[in-house]
Structure formats: structure tokens, C-alpha cells
Structure 1
Amino acid sequence: MSDVTIFAPSPTLTVTVEDHPSGSEIHVHAGGQGVWQARMLLRLGVDVTMCSVLTGETGRVLRHLLEDEGISVVGVEREGRGSAYVHDRREGHRAEIAEDDGEPIGRHDLDELYGVTLKTGLRSGLVILSGPVGEEVLPADTYRRLASDLREGGARVIVDLAGERLDAAVEGGVDVLKVSHEELKDDGRIDEASGRSIMRAMRELHHAGAGTVIVTRASEPLLLLDAEGFLEVSAPQLEVKDTRGAGDSLTAGVAADMADGATAREAVTLGAAAGALNVTRHGLGTGDPDTIDRLRERVTVRELADELSADAEQPVTGRVSPDGLAALAEPDAATDAGDGADGDAEGGRT
């Protein structure tokens, strides 16, 4: 039995051409949100099972690539066009040569995928619901049904989604929701990137059905809201090589610590460290676990006042170790005056 199950409906076959002194190098990998999350979970010592539809030639290649990485695959196989892309990075930037989101998942295949996800997810007890590449791959309501049924069966559910899929999952009920402030803006939940506006949107999502809400803010500290209140979490600023996949590494870090018994409030520091390291690499969802543990020691946490709450308290400021996170919730914890949600502390690029 795996520690974590990932619902990854349509993983992507990626072909990338890189420059090399001896000539062009061609790299073939499995990719997509669920794959990047699985890859980081493996780095952190967590067993992972991916539930996916594997389509046509690309699907057959993807199964081998995923299993070679150590990811268990429960795949629904079908014929047709699967998700894939070819990118050229020989000039130092990504140039798209060809890209295909793949064909929508049919009703019978979706029923089978739904069934194996429930079976595997209820066994592991912790499930990440990740999104497909294209908007038309599967109905958004699938996420509502899955979230509701998994939690009804006793599993915890983590989602990293946006748009209609986010709305559907929250309606079903989730334990942890991770979203970026850009996605909140694109979805019309905020009209500006101010701390106050983001906190208001987080509060609405929390009341709608998300137990813990985590919002990443590019280079600014991320924000967390749960039943105990708001936290601001700042990770070390490292030199950026590629920001893609940093948010998925953060989600994986949170899931890894939760699989080991931590609460989301405690686990967010591991997620922040994993996301901070990922930006230093071209490999998405990769990073040395010892380095991530070291970076976690440099993550700072402070409690923020909820300015719209009548019983809001002043923020707690200063560095807090992972072992000391629980103390933030104590009613007699020491508090200092702070700047609130719009403070200028620096955070990881997640």
C-alpha cells in the first residue's frame, strides 16, 4: 500500500531538446502536475501510486517512464491521442515545436478511472487530486464527486487546482487547498494582489469547504488559513533557474509531512522548503531531501491578525522552527506587534 495516491488523469509525455557542446541532447520524460508532485514525494521518501488514463503510444511509453522512476501506476489504457509536447531549449528559452492536450476521457474510461482512484485512495488514506493539461479532458464535477466520496470513506484530500475544478473540489470538501494568487485573480476571486484581498478570498474558500487554504504569492511569503487562523510563511530566496513545478513541489512537501502524521499547519514548512529548492533546477519536482531539510530550518513563520474578525489577535513575529509551530496555537503564546498581511518579509518562489 502506498503512502499517497495521486489522481493524475492525463500525464504528459515531454520531449525536450537541449544544447550541449557535443551537439543537441534530446530528453524524454513523464510530465504534468501529478507527475511532478509524485517525483518530489519520492525524493522525500514517500511511496506513491498514480491513477491515470494512459492513451495510445504516448501512454505506453509513459507507463515505462513512470515505473522506472519508482512510481506505482494504476492505469486505464485506451487507444487514441495522449497528452504530449516537444520543446526546444537550445537558445536558452522554451520554444514550442508541437503540443497536444490529448483526447477527452470517455464515460466508460472515466468510470473505470474513478473506481480505481477510490479503491487506491481509500487504502492509502491520503490523496492528491491534480489537474489535467487541457480544460476539456474530463468534467470538472469529477473533482467534487471524488473529494466527497474519498472523505466519506475516511481519506484526507489535498488539491492543487484552479477555475471550475477548484470550485467543484471545494464544494465536495477538501482537507487542504493550494492555489496561487495569480490563479485567484484569473478566477475573479481577487481584483488585486494585496494581502487583505487575498485573505478575504481565503476566508471565503475556507467557509466553502476547504479545511486549510494555502496561497502562494510568487516571491512574496505564502499565506495559510485553517481553523486556528492565518500564518505567513517565508522560505529562503534562492537563485531562480526555472520556476515551473515549484508549486507542485510545495504541495508534495505538505503531503509528505502529512503522510508522516503532521498537520497541514506543521507540514507547510516542508512544502515551502521543497518549493524553494525546486526553482534552482531544470528538473521539475526534483531536489535533494537533505538540502530540503536544511532549508526547512530557514523557513520562518508568523501568525497574522484577521482584521475582519472581532477577536483577532496581534501577529506573532520572528523565526519559528518546525518543532515550535504547534506553540503558535497556544492561547498564552507570546505576541509582538507586526505589519499584518501586507508586511515586507521575503518568501520563497512557490
Structure 2
Amino acid sequence: MSDVTIFAPSPILTVTVENSGDADEIHIHAGGQGVWQARMLRRLGVSATMCCSLAGEAGQVIRHLLEDDGMTVVGIERPGRASAYVQDRRGGERAEIGTEVGDPIARHELDELYGAVIREGMRSGVVILSGPAGDDVLPPDTYRRLAADLREAGCTVVVDLAGERLDAALEGGVDLLKVSDEEMRAHGLDDDSPDALAAAMHSLRSRGAGTVIVTRASEPLLLLDEQGLLEVAPPRLEVVDSAGAGDSLTAGVVAGMVRGEPPRDAITLGAAAGALNVTRHGLGTGDADAIAELRGRIRVSVPGEDDDGGSMGVSPDGLAGLIETPRREAPGAESPRTESEGER
């Protein structure tokens, strides 16, 4: 039995070409949001079971790569094309050479995958619902049903989703939601002031999220739970590659929760994991000892608090008005998320 179950409907076969002196260097890995989360969990000493669909020849390669990374794989094998991409990083930036989104998961395979997530989720008690590689891989309503059924079974549900998938998961109810301010701005939040962000986070909580975490690129991230709002500022390290930092943050928070920490304490482990990840080329990677040292340098404060300890946040009347925003126009609604959105 693993500590965490991850729903990763369509992991990706990634092929990256890099420059190594006078020769090209080719790296082949399993990738995608759920994979990067699982990889960081493993670095932090937390075991993970990947519930995923594995299509065609690429799916078989993905299975072996995941198992080589120390993950337990519960894979539903199916015909067709798996998700894959080839990137050229010889110039220092990621240049897409080719991308294969993969075939949608058929009804019978999705039923089998759904059952596997429920079974493994009940065994571990903590489940991360991650996004697919493309919009058409599976129906968005799958996330509503999974969130509702897993919580009914007593599981803790964590999501880092967007668009219709996020809307669906919120209907089912989630314990922890992580989202970026960029995704929030893309869907209705035209003011990223602290007051507006706080109101948008309260809106997400009113729609079904227990704890909400908002990342803000190089700015301190925000956490809102029943106790109030926190601002969390990790050290600003030199960025080599920002890809996977958001997924590392999610994994770090979950790792802390598995060890019994509430999210407002576990957020410092997540912030440290995300901060270290940007210094590396590998996605969802980082040295556990370095992350532990960084964690001690995370600054946590109450945003908008003046010298006298008074709150300068949004007023109750203003907050109530923003929370009553119609559901489809809520600031927390997000765009469809693809595998590349693990970069934030």
C-alpha cells in the first residue's frame, strides 16, 4: 500500500535532446502532471501509486519508466496512441519538435481506471487528481464523480486542475486546491490586487474547496483556509527551468499532509520543493536535504497586516459581493490544463 494515490489518466512519454559538449544527449522519461508530482513525492520519501491508462507501445515504455522511478503502477492497458512529445533544448529553451496528445480513453477502459482509483485511494487515504495531456482524453465530469466518491469513502482529495475539470471537481468537493494567479486571470480575474485575490480564493472555498493555494510566479504564494489567509515567501533562487515547479509544490504540501501536518504547515515544505525545482533541469526533482534546509528559510506572514496587527484586507461587504459572482464567471474558473501547465 502506498502513502498517496495519483490519478494520472494519460502520462506522457517525453524525449528531450540536449547539448552535451560536442555531442547530442537524448533523455527519455515518463512525464505529465501526475508523474512530476509522484517523482517529487518519492524524493521526499513518500510512496505513490500511479493509476493511469497505458496506450500502445509507448504505454509499455511509460510503465517501465515509472516502475524504474520507484512508483507502483496500476495501469489499464488499451490500444491506440499514448501521449508523447519530443523537445529540443540544445539552445537553452524548450523547442517543441513534435507532440502527440493521444487517443481518448474508451468507456470500458475508463470504467476500469475509475474503479482502480477508488480501490487504491481507499487503501492510501490521500488522492491527487491530476489532469490529462489533452482536453478530449476523458469527460470532465469524471473529476466530479471521483472527488465525490473518494471523499464519501473517507479519502483526502487534492487537485491542481483547470477549466471544466476544476469546475467539476469543486462540485464533488475537494480538500485542497492549488491554482496559479495566471490561470485565474485567464478566466475573469482582472484585478490581481491582494483584496481581489483574497476574494477569489474565498469564492473557490465557497464552491467546494477546503484549502486554496494560489501561486504567483516570483511573488509570494497565498494560502486560504478556515483560519484565514497566509502569505508564503520562499527564497528567490536562480531559475534554470520553471517547468514542474507547481507540481513539486503540490507534492511537497501532500508529503507534509501525509506526515500529519495541516496544509498551513505543510505549505512551507511545498514552497521549498517548488523553489528548489526551478534550479534544476529535471521536472519534479530535487534533493530532500536541500529542500529541508530551504524549508527553514520560508517566510510566512499574514498579508496586509499593519504594524499594529490590524487587517487591511477586503471588507466583509466587498467580499460577500465578490463571492456571489455567478458560477461560470467566478474568478477561480480556469482554462483547460495540459501537461505543460505544470511549469507554474
TM-score, normalization: structure 1?
A: 0.88
Structure 1 residues 37-81: Cα deviation after superposition (integer angstroms, max 9, x where no partner): 000000000010000000001100000000001010000001111
What does residue 198 of structure 2 align with?
A: 199
1:37 aligns with 2:10: no
Q: Does structure 2 retain, via aligned residues, the 8 Å contact 1:302–1:316?
A: no
Matched to 1:212, the amino acid is T
Q: Is the 8 A contact 2:158 2:176 kept in 1?
A: yes
Task: Describe how 1:4-19 pairs up with structure 2 within 5 A.
Answer: 4-19=4-19
Who is 2:253 aligned against? 254
Q: Distance in 2 between matches of 1:228 and 1:94?
A: 41
Amino acid paired to 1:62 = I
CA contact (8 A) 2:306 2:312 kept: no
The 5 Å alignment of 1:313-324 reads: 315=305
1:184 aligns with 2:170: no
Matched letter for residue 168 of structure 1: A
Give, in angstroms, the shift of residue 193 of structure 1: 2.1
**Cα displacement string for residues 56-110 of structure 1 (whole angstroms, at most 9, x for unaligned residues):** 0110000000000101000000111100001111122122111011011111111
Distance 1:62 1:191 in 2: 40
Cα displacement (A) at 1:338: 7.2
1:217 is the counterpart of 2:216: yes
The 8 Å contact of residues 162 and 187 in structure 1, kept in 2 or not, is answered as no
Aligned with 1:24: secondary structure? strand
1:267 and 1:14 mapped to 2: Cα distance?
Answer: 30
Number of residues of Structure 1 aligned to a counterpart in Structure 2: 316
- Name the amino acid aligned to 1:238: L
Q: CA deviation at 1:116?
A: 0.2
Aligned-pair identity (%): 65
5 Å-filtered alignment, 1:263-278, equals: 263-278=262-277
* Amino acid paired to 2:143: Y
Alpha-carbon distance, 1:226 to partner: 0.5
RMSD value, Cα: 1.5
> What letter corresponds to residue 336 of structure 1 in structure 2?
G
1:112-123 superposed matches below 5 A: 112-123=112-123
**Which digits, 9 at most, give the CA deviation of each residue in 1:206-265, with x for residues without a partner?**
011100000000011101110111111111100000111000000000000101111111
Q: CA shift at 1:148, angstroms?
A: 0.5
- Counterpart check, 1:279 vs 2:252: no
* Pairwise CA distance, 1:196: 1.6
Measure, in 1, the Cα distance between the counterparts of 2:154 and 2:190. Answer: 37
Residues 17 and 27 in structure 2, CA contact (< 8 A), matched pair in contact too:
yes
Cα distance in 1 between the residues matched to 2:143 and 2:198: 24
Q: Render the CA deviation track for 1:306-328: whole Å, top value 9, x for unaligned.
A: xxxxxxxxx388xxxxxxxxxxx
1:232 counterpart residue number? 231
TM-score scaled by length of structure 2: 0.89
- Aligned pairs (5 A) from 1:41-80: 41-80=41-80
Work out whether 1:336 is the aligned partner of 2:320: no
Q: 1:136 to 1:316 in 2, by over 3 A?
A: farther
Which residue does 1:332 correspond to in 2? Answer: none
Query: Aligned AA for 2:70?
Result: G
SS of the counterpart of 1:19? strand
One-letter identity of the residue aligned with 2:181:
H
Cα offset, 1:134, TM superposition: 0.4
1:105 correspondence with 2:105:
yes
Paired position in structure 1 for 2:139: 139
Cα deviation for residue 337 of structure 1 reads 4.9
Instruction: Report 1 or 2 for greater relative contact order, CA contacts < 8 Å, sequence distance ≥ 6.
Output: 2
Contact conserved, 1:303 with 1:316, CA < 8 A, in 2?
Answer: no
Contact 1:229 1:304 in 2 (8 A): no
Maintained 8 Å contact 1:202/1:225: yes
SS in structure 2 of the partner of residue 167 of structure 1 = helix
* C-alpha contact 1:252 1:271 (8 A) present in aligned 2: yes
- Secondary structure of 1:204's aligned partner: helix
